[in-house]
């Protein structure tokens, strides 16, 4: 700065000042500068102390940050180790699950499922039922065929027996008639011979002509006897023919019995084949039972292994859960500590930022104060110049005094300037150091910010690891659910195995029961066959005895028939007389009826209508009851059988009773029916007599003509009743 004073050769044209006057503003300026330097020293000292504090805090924060980084690294490494463990465990469990699923699939494919068991059971039952059904159908068809053939044979046998009996009856009748004729002729001849012998004895001698005639008659009788003998031979031939036919029938029956025996043998062979099939099925069932036992043993082993694996999985899951909980707690603690440290660091950074702002503001204020002070210095310098101009005189007076002082002050000034220069250099150095410290603080702030960003990245990484841990937890839960489902499947498989065992036991029991039923049916079948064979033999012997008995009974019946014929002839002659008498009586009654009709027509006007109607109703009722009784009597199985020109009362019987029904029983039954019929007729006569008496009382009270009508009606009823009963033998 160029300061020119008047009197000097300066630009203002003022005179030059004395050296003492020139040094006064310099002193003032130096004092102000010293004050400024002292203030700057104080401020730099404060900045230095603050810097030291910040440096110490920065070191502490850096140490804490390093420790946190080491802890975070350790936690990351531990989390990575845990993740690797979990991954390895997950992979192992996944492989185990895949292997077990494959084993389960193999076991499912190997083990007998309920559906397979149902299919096997259905197939076995269908095969067994098919075989049994076919055999039962065949046996039923054979039994039906045998029944039809037996029924046909029975019908044919019954028909042949009836024809045979009928022919035998006819033959016996013919033979009986011929015998009777022959006996009659023989008797006549004997009588004639006896008569001739008597005549010969009485008369003594007879004519040769009569002898010739007798010889001729004897020859004729011999011819007749020969004809009768030929007829007898024909009858015998017919009988032999019928016997041969019966023998042929017996042979046919024997053939049929042999065929039945062959069918029985074929059935026994089929039964043996069925038994072999049952034995093969039992062997198959035993083999399937062995396979099932092996599979059950394998399933038990797998269940044991599964229990071991399940325990291991539970242990690992428990350990993993404990490790996860510990890691969670440590992570939460570390997270809290990191959050607290982050908050501390953020607070410290905010404080440092505030301090930096304050220091910046203070520096700005100091710069402003320096500018103000420089201005104040310039103003003071101007004021001092003015004061110096005004006090120049005084100063000149004091100039001499002050020159010495100035010299001293100059020396001091030189010393002070040197000292100031040194202090300025120091202050510049300090300012430079403060600026360097500021730059280093900025750098440290940048480093802290980078560390904070790194810490934020670590926190993000922790969040990612936390999400990964949550995903791992989800996977662990999934694995636990899969494990629980696997355990549930194992329990289901154990239940299915138990159920299958129970079903196998039931099948074995059913097979045992079917075997027992088959053996029982086989024994029953053999017993039935033996019984049928014995029954056939007994039936054959019984039929032979029955045929013999029937032949004997037929001979007896022919004799009885001959007697019945003679009785019938007598009864016929008697009944013809009775019929002629009844016809005569009927003609008489017809004439009387016509007479009564005429009388009725004549007396109809005299009879009251009410009594006529009541009697007519009673007559209709009696007629209806008579018709019903007649129908009941005629429908009791008694009917007429015509043989030639003769009629006999016969009883309707079932054809099935013919072989076991004898003529004696028929005769007894016929006699019992006749007795019952007579009793009914007697009862009817008694009832009709009572009714006639009642009608007679009514007729006596009313008119005589009604009595005649009732009498004629009763007689007509008697005639009608006697007509169907007239041909019956007594």
pLDDT digits (tens, 9 = 90+) for 97-150: 788 778 777 777 766 666 777 777 777 777 777 777 777 777 778 778 877 877
Q: Are 685 and 697 in contact (CB under 8 A)?
A: no
More confident residue, 306 or 4: 306
Interval 547-556 mean pLDDT:
77
Q: How many residues does the chain have?
A: 730
Secondary element (H or E) of residue 641: strand 638-643
* Lowest mean per-residue pLDDT among 236-245, 318-327, 546-555, 628-637: 628-637
* Secondary structure (3-state) at 649: strand
Domain membership of residue 584 (yes or no) is no
Q: What is the pLDDT of residues 486-508, one digit of tens each?
A: 677 767 777 776 777 777 777 77
pLDDT at 638: 44
Q: Are 651 and 637 in contact (CB under 8 A)?
A: yes
Distance CA 5, CA 27 (A): 17
pLDDT over 60 at 408, yes or no: yes
Domain containing 628: what range? 604-730
pLDDT over 60 at 299, yes or no: yes
Domain membership of residue 563 (yes or no) is no
Closest CA to 281 of 497, 138, 120, 110: 120
pLDDT at 174: 80
Helix axes 704-725, 392-603, angle to 10 degrees: 100
Q: Are 46 and 34 in contact (CB under 8 A)?
A: no
DSSP type of residue 640: E
Q: What is the pLDDT of residues 218-246, one digit of tens each?
A: 777 778 777 777 777 777 777 777 777 76
User: 638-643 and 646-651: which strand pairing?
Assistant: antiparallel
Q: Are 670 and 651 in contact (CB under 8 A)?
A: yes
> Hey, which residues does 651 pair with through a beta bridge?
638
Interval 594-613 mean pLDDT:
69
**What percent of the chain lies above the pLDDT cut of 90?**
0
Domain membership of residue 72 (yes or no) is no
pLDDT band of 574, cuts 50, 70, 90? confident
Interval 69-79 mean pLDDT:
81
pLDDT at 267: 73
Domain membership of residue 680 (yes or no) is yes
Q: What is the pLDDT of residues 147-182, one digit of tens each?
A: 787 777 777 777 777 777 877 788 777 877 877 777
pLDDT band of 1, cuts 50, 70, 90? very low
Closest CA to 249 of 112, 392, 152, 365: 152
pLDDT at 399: 66
pLDDT at 554: 76
pLDDT at 667: 66
Domain count, the chain: 1
Q: How many CA atoms lie within 13 A of 545 on its CB side?
A: 7
Domain membership of residue 619 (yes or no) is yes
pLDDT at 633: 65
DSSP type of residue 607: S
* Torsional class of 13: left (φ above 0), alpha (ψ -120 to 50), beta (otherwise): left
pLDDT at 647: 46
Angle (nearest 5°) at CA 389 between 387 and 391? 65
Distance CA 263, CA 271 (A): 12
pLDDT at 651: 43
Q: How many CA atoms lie within 13 A of 622 on its CB side?
A: 22
pLDDT at 699: 53
CA 50 to chain centre: 92
pLDDT over 70 at 10, yes or no: no
pLDDT at 210: 66
**What percent of the chain lies above the pLDDT cut of 70?**
75
Angle (nearest 5°) at CA 305 between 303 and 309? 115
Q: Are 274 and 135 in contact (CB under 8 A)?
A: yes
Domain membership of residue 717 (yes or no) is yes
Q: Are 409 and 75 in contact (CB under 8 A)?
A: no
pLDDT at 596: 75
Could you give the dihedral angle defined by the CA atoms of residues 546, 547, 551 and 556, in that order, rounded to the nearest 10 degrees? 20
Q: Which of 43-52, 384-393, 440-449, 457-466 is the most confident on average?
A: 43-52
pTM over 0.85: no
- Average pLDDT score over the chain: 72
Q: Is 472 exposed, middle or buried (0-12, 13-18, 19+ CB in 10 A)?
A: buried
Q: Are 501 and 299 in contact (CB under 8 A)?
A: no
Domain membership of residue 163 (yes or no) is no
Q: Are 529 and 257 in contact (CB under 8 A)?
A: no
Domain membership of residue 612 (yes or no) is yes
Q: What is the pLDDT of residues 11-51, one digit of tens each?
A: 444 444 555 555 667 778 788 888 888 888 888 888 888 88
pLDDT over 60 at 389, yes or no: yes
pLDDT over 80 at 56, yes or no: yes
Distance CA 135, CA 263 (A): 12
């Amino acid at each position: 700065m160029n300061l020119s004073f008047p009197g000097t050769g300066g630009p203002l044209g003022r005179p030059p000042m004395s050296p003492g006057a020139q040094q006064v503003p310099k002193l003032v300026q130096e004092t102000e500068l010293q004050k400024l330097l002292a203030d700057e020293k104080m401020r730099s000292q404060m900045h230095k102390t603050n810097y030291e504090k910040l440096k110490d805090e920065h070191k502490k924060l850096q140490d804490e940050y390093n420790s946190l980084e080491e802890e975070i690294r350790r936690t990351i490494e531990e989390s990575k180790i845990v993740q690797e463990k979990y991954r390895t465990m997950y992979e192992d469990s996944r492989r185990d699950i895949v292997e077990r699923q494959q084993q389960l699939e193999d076991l499912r494919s190997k083990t007998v499922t309920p559906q397979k068991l149902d299919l096997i059971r259905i197939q076995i039952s269908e095969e067994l039922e098919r075989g049994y059904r076919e055999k039962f159908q065949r046996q039923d068809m054979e039994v039906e065929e045998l029944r039809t053939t037996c029924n046909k044979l029975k019908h044919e046998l019954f028909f042949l027996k009836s024809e045979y009996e009928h022919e035998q009856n006819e033959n016996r009748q013919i033979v009986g008639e011929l015998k009777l004729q022959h006996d009659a002729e023989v008797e006549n001849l004997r009588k004639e011979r006896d008569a001739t012998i008597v005549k010969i004895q009485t008369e003594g001698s007879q004519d040769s002509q009569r002898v010739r005639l007798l010889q001729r008659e004897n020859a004729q009788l011999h011819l007749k006897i020969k004809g009768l003998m030929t007829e007898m031979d024909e009858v015998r031939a017919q009988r032999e023919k019928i016997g041969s036919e019966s023998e042929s029938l017996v042979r046919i029956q024997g053939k049929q019995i042999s065929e039945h025996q062959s069918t029985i043998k074929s059935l026994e062979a089929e039964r043996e084949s069925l038994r072999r099939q049952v034995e093969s099925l039992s062997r198959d069932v035993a083999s399937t039972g062995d396979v099932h036992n092996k599979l059950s043993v394998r399933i038990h082993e797998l269940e044991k292994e599964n229990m071991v694996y399940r325990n291991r999985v539970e242990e690992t899951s428990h350990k993993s859960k404990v490790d996860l909980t510990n890691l969670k707690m440590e992570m939460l603690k570390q997270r809290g500590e990191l959050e607290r440290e982050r908050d501390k660091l953020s607070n410290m950074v905010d404080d440092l930022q505030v301090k930096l702002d304050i220091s910046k503001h203070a520096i700005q204020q100091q710069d402003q104060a320096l500018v103000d002070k420089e201005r104040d210095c310039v103003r003071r310098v101007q004021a001092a110049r003015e004061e110096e101009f005004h006090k120049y005189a005084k100063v000149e007076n004091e100039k001499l005094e002050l020159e010495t002082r100035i010299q001293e002050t100059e020396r001091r000034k030189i010393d002070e300037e040197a000292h100031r220069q040194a202090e300025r250099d120091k202050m510049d150095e300090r300012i430079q150091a403060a600026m360097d410290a500021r730059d280093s603080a900025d750098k440290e702030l940048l480093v802290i910010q980078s560390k904070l960003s790194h810490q934020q990245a670590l926190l993000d990484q922790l969040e990612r690891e936390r999400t990964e841990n949550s995903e791992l937890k989800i996977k662990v839960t999934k694995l636990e659910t899969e494990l629980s489902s696997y355990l549930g499947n194992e329990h289901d498989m154990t239940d299915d195995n138990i159920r299958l065992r129970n079903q196998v036991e039931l099948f074995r029991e059913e097979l045992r029961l079917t075997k027992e039923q088959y053996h029982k049916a086989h024994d029953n079948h053999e017993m039935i066959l033996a019984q049928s064979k014995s029954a056939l033999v007994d039936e054959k012997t019984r039929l032979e005895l029955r045929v013999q008995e029937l032949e004997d009974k037929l001979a007896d019946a022919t004799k009885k028939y001959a007697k019945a014929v003679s009785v019938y002839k007598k009864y016929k002659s008697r009944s013809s007389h009775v019929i002629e008498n009844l016809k005569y009586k009927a003609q008489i009654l017809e004439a009387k009826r016509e007479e009564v009709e005429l009388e009725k027509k004549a007396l109809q006007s005299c009879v009251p209508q009410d009594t006529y109607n009541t009697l007519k109703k009673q007559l209709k009722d009696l007629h209806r009851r008579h018709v019903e009784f007649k129908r009941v009597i005629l429908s009791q199985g008694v009917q007429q059988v015509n043989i030639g020109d003769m009629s006999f009362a016969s009883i309707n019987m079932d054809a099935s009773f013919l072989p076991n029904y004898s003529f004696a029983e028929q005769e007894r039954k016929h006699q019992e029916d006749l007795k019952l019929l007579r009793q009914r007729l007697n009862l009817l006569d008694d009832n009709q007599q009572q009714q006639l008496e009642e009608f007679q009382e009514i007729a006596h009270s009313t008119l005589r003509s009604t009595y005649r009508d009732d009498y004629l009606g009763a007689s007509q009823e008697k005639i009608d009743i006697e007509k169907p009963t007239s041909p019956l033998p007594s």
